[in-house]
Each structure stands twice: as C-alpha cells, then as structure tokens.
Amino acid sequence: MRRKIAAGNWKMNGLKASLAEVEALKPVCTGECDVILCPPATLVAAMAEVAKGANITVGGQDCHWNESGAHTGDIAAEMLADAGAGAVILGHSERRADHCETDMMVHNKALAAWRAGLQAIICVGETEAERDAGTTLDIIGGQLAGSTPDGATAENTVIAYEPVWAIGTGRTPTLEEIAEVHDFLRGRLVERFGLDGEGFRLLYGGSVKPGNAAEIFAVSNVDGGLVGGASLKASDFSGIIQAANG
C-alpha cells in the first residue's frame, strides 16, 4: 500500500505574506497522506519554520549537482537541506524548456539531492506535439531512464508525470490516458528496480484542482499529485490534500 502525496509547486510565486496559506493548511495535514510544499528558494527557510511540527515537508524547485562553487544564481541541494527542505523537484518541464535541462543534468541533480538527504521528485512529460505524434510512451520512457540514476529507491525518489500541455491550461488527459502512462511508468520501474519498483510513488501533475483530484488519485498507479496553480491558496490546496487523505 503506497502512501499518497499531495505536493504543491509554487513556481515563481509567493512573498513572505503568502506563508499565511501554509498556516491555514495545517488543519487538513492530518497525516493520512504526505504533504510537500515547494516554494521559491527565498521562502524555503521561512516556510520550514512555519511548517515545524506539522505534517508538511518543504521542498525546493531545483538544485545544482555540485555541493558548492562558482555557479552564480544556483542553489546546492545541501543549501536546501540546510534551510530545512526535505525534498526537491527536479526536471520540471519549465526547467527543461526555459533552462535547457537535459536528462543527464536531471540525473546528476538527483544524485546531488540524495547526497544531501533530499527526496528527489523527478518530472517527466510529453509535449502536445509528441502526444499527437503518438510518441508519448517513448518520450516518457526515455526521460525516466535518462533522468533516474541507479540507486533510486521508493524512499529517495518520487516520479511525477506531467504532460506539458496540461500544465496551467485547465486541460487534463482522460483518466484512461493517465492510467496508461502511470501503468507504463510502474512497469518500467519494476523492470529496472525489481520489487522496489512497486513502492515508488507516481504523481500526476497538470491542472489538478479540488474538483478533479479525487477521481485522478483513484486511478491505479496514481499515488497523488504535483499541483501548481491550485497549491497557492489554502482554500484550493486543502481540498486536494483531503482527496489524497482519502
């Protein structure tokens, strides 16, 4: 039985005043599911303070593969851990597109995350053109293999399937399409990691809302969601956490 995850990705949103949303989430963070909130790096330490004692893990949205050094603007996994993070999103499609991140870079970032004791949330997902061309599973399979290092376990790694065309668009795949990709991911993980592959949590991401979360989380091999827009307001995200609570 895999424990569900409700993960929020605040992206480039949030100021100190936004931490009131975290306080407001606490009543629904009752421990039935894992709640992970990934604010911009500027808020990681302050959010970790607010989240203390609650069932909320704070995460980063990216990290560098090196521990320190001359990398202006980058953040090391060790720095996120030092600020109170317990997880980090890696290879989000916005990073892959805006910062030309390759599977190999994501792979190296995952190694860095583990080195610092962070859980790596590795994202994969096809573009609309790739889906239209019928290459979705090839793309997903390639990203999964290339971005996930040997040494991944059900504890140190979570995989998020986020179709690029569903992110921030209000469009979601059908439940059958979500099931197809998640079943495929499960198969690949079991093929590569044996029995442990059964334990990895697989998140769906892309226009998850309070109104569709329960039906998406009920799909086989969907172990929760990675949520962008609807994670910014406690009034929305609490409904999604409750769906993950079951």
Where in the sequence numbering do the catalytic residues fall?
92, 162
Under rule CB under 6 A, residue 226 binds ligand PGA: yes
- Per-residue contact track with ligand PGA, 70 to 109, x per CB under 6 A? ----------------------------------------
Per CB under 6 A, the list member of 65, 229, 234, 238 interacting with ligand PGA is 229
Given its phi and psi angles, is residue 151 left (phi above 0), alpha (psi -120 to 50 degrees) or beta? left
Contacts of 176-181 with C-beta under 8 Å, sequence gap 24+, read: 178/204, 178/216, 178/219, 178/222, 179/219, 179/220, 179/221, 179/222, 180/137, 181/136, 181/137, 181/140
Single-letter amino acid, residue 246:
G
The Cα-based distances of 69 to 75, 90, 215 in angstroms read 10, 20, 45
Specify the stretch interacting with ligand PGA by CB under 6 A; choose among 28-36, 134-142, 178-186, 206-214. Answer: 206-214
Taking the least distance from each CB to ligand PGA, the nearer of 181 and 227 is 227
Min separation Cβ 94 and ligand PGA, Å: 7
Under rule CB under 6 A, residue 37 binds ligand PGA: no
* Tokens describing residue 245: 């609570």
Contacts with ligand PGA, residue ranges (CB under 6 A) = 9, 162, 167-168, 205-208, 226-230
